[in-house]
Structure 1
Amino acid sequence: MPEMHFQVRWPDGAVQHCYSPSLVIHDHLAVGIDYPIEEFLTHVRTALTLASERVRAKYGFACTSAAHTLESIETTAAQALSSAEAGTVRVLSMTPPSVAAATSKGRS
């Protein structure tokens, strides 16, 4: 099962490195997009839950790394939402890139 890493920047400028056991993140988030925190949480919860369930279907158990990533994101989001300047979360990168992003590199 292919895995991926993605980076996001929180409203305070902190960059968080995240893990998914599946490329399903590409179906729910896009690089270079700013998401209101609550919307970002909705997308990432859905994606990481699906990713974990894909691991369960293949190996018979859920992915604890996906659960840990989600817990870390939710903790950071709660801190950001409690601040005076909640703001948005920007998706900085996804590795590997989506097929569409990978095939469009270098095109004008």
Structure 2
Amino acid sequence: MPEMRFRVRWPDQSESLCYSPSLVIKDFFDAGQSYPLNEFVSRSREALGIASERVRQKYGYTCSSAMSQLADIEAVATRFWDSETPSVTVIEFIE
């Protein structure tokens, strides 16, 4: 299963290198595009859920790394909920 990483920039200009066990993440985001925080979290939740399910279908168990990555994204996002129009930029995909 082709895994990948994707780099994002948060509203405070900090960056995170994120993991996906599947290339499906590219169906939900475009490199260089900014997304409203709530939309970024929602898309991440859906994409990483699909990626984890693909692992389950292939190997018989869900991907704990995908779920851990989602938890990390949600945790960082909580720092910015009160910001005015926070957005997250997907900087690049690394395959």
TM-score by length of 1: 0.85
Post-superposition shift, 1:52? 0.1
Q: Which residue of 2 aligns with 1:20?
A: 20
Equivalent position of 1:100 in the other structure: none
Task: Report if the CA contact (8 A) 1:4-1:94 is conserved.
Answer: yes
Tell me the amino acid that sits aligned with residue 95 of structure 1: I
Aligned to 1:41: 41
Q: Aligned with 2:31: secondary structure?
A: coil
Runs of 4+ more than 2 Å apart: none
Cα displacement (A) at 1:16: 0.7
1:54 alignment partner, SS class: helix
- Aligned residue in 2 for 1:95: 94
In the TM superposition, residue 48 of structure 1 has moved relative to its aligned partner by 0.1
Which residue is 1:50 aligned to?
50
Query: What is the aligned-residue identity percentage?
Result: 48
Residue identity matched to 1:92: I
Partner residue, 1:106: none
After superposition, residues 78-89 of structure 1 pair within 5 angstroms as 78-82=78-82, 84-89=83-88
Task: Find the aligned partners of 2:46 and 2:53 in 1 and give their Cα distance.
Answer: 11
1:86 offset after TM fit, Å? Answer: 4.8
Give the total of aligned pairs. Answer: 95
SS in structure 2 of the partner of residue 57 of structure 1: helix
- C-alpha separation in 2, matches of 1:7 and 1:80: 18
Higher relative contact order (CA 8 A, sep 6+): 2
SS of structure 1 residue aligned to 2:16: strand
List runs of 5+ in structure 2 lacking aligned partners. none
Contact 1:21 1:51 in 2 (8 A): yes
Report the counterpart of residue 75 of structure 2 in structure 1: 75
Q: 1:85: Cα distance to partner?
A: 3.9
Aligned partners of 1:7 and 1:18 also within 8 Å: yes
Task: State the partner residue of 2:10.
Answer: 10
